[in-house]
């Protein structure tokens, strides 16, 4: 039995079916439109930038992708209300209750982060090589007053400059002896 004509006919039908599917798929524009039913599109938006709304379907100017239609929600919501997907509520274990005025009984423990104003912080640098001998302010961000010592610093450069100043203060020059004979020591 010769199967060649059956195989050729099957391949031809398959090829015609693929070509027809390709032609029908590209013949219809790929724009987002309202689904069959009574829902009306409120606006179109880019899923990557959902805050930007458009009046007509087409491609997004931001991401080169098709705009997605936004339909009105099923329930009526007020302007200031918040709606959370029921699946998300279930996953998070959220519970809702009606807001009531009242007084809290006992304490309230709330997680928080305490910070300081970084614009008020001041960095102090010694501009000399040295070692801190004694620290008068020990805790970070401890309040200090003007003129309060912060630390004692041992700096060899400063030590030699101070010794030189003291040595020069006790020295007498020849000019000083001629101008003021009473200060001259023999």
Say yes or no: 46 and 24 in one domain: no
User: Does residue 16 form part of some domain?
Assistant: yes
User: Does residue 54 form part of some domain?
Assistant: yes
Is there a contact between 87 and 75 (Cβ–Cβ < 8 Å)?
no
User: Does residue 47 form part of some domain?
Assistant: yes
In this predicted model, what pLDDT tens digit does every residue of 49-93 receive, in sequence order? Answer: 778 888 888 888 877 788 888 887 655 555 666 777 777 877 888
- In the predicted model, what is the mean pLDDT of residues 92-98? 81
SS3 103: coil
Is there a contact between 182 and 172 (Cβ–Cβ < 8 Å)?
no
Domain region containing 48: 32-73
User: Does residue 134 form part of some domain?
Assistant: yes
SS3 53: strand
Burial class (CB in 10 A: 0-12, 13-18, 19+), 44: buried
pLDDT band at 177 (very low <50, low <70, confident <90, very high): low
């Amino acid at each position: 039995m010769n199967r060649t004509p059956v195989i050729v006919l099957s391949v031809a039908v398959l090829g015609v079916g693929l070509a027809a599917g390709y032609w029908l798929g590209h013949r219809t524009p790929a724009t987002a439109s309202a689904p069959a039913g009574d829902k009306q599109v409120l606006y179109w938006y880019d899923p990557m930038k959902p805050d930007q709304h458009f009046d007509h379907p087409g491609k997004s100017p931001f991401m080169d992708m098709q705009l997605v239609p936004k339909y009105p929600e099923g329930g009526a919501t007020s302007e200031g209300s918040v709606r959370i997907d029921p699946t998300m509520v279930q996953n998070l274990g959220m519970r809702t209750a009606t807001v009531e005025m009242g007084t809290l009984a006992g304490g309230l423990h709330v997680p928080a982060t305490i910070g300081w104003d970084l614009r008020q912080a001041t960095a102090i640098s010694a501009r000399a090589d040295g070692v801190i001998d004694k620290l008068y302010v020990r805790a970070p961000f401890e309040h200090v007053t003007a003129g309060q010592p912060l630390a004692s610093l041992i700096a060899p450069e400063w030590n030699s400059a101070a010794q030189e100043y003291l040595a020069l203060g006790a020295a007498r020059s020849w000019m000083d002896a001629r101008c003021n004979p009473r200060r001259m020591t023999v």
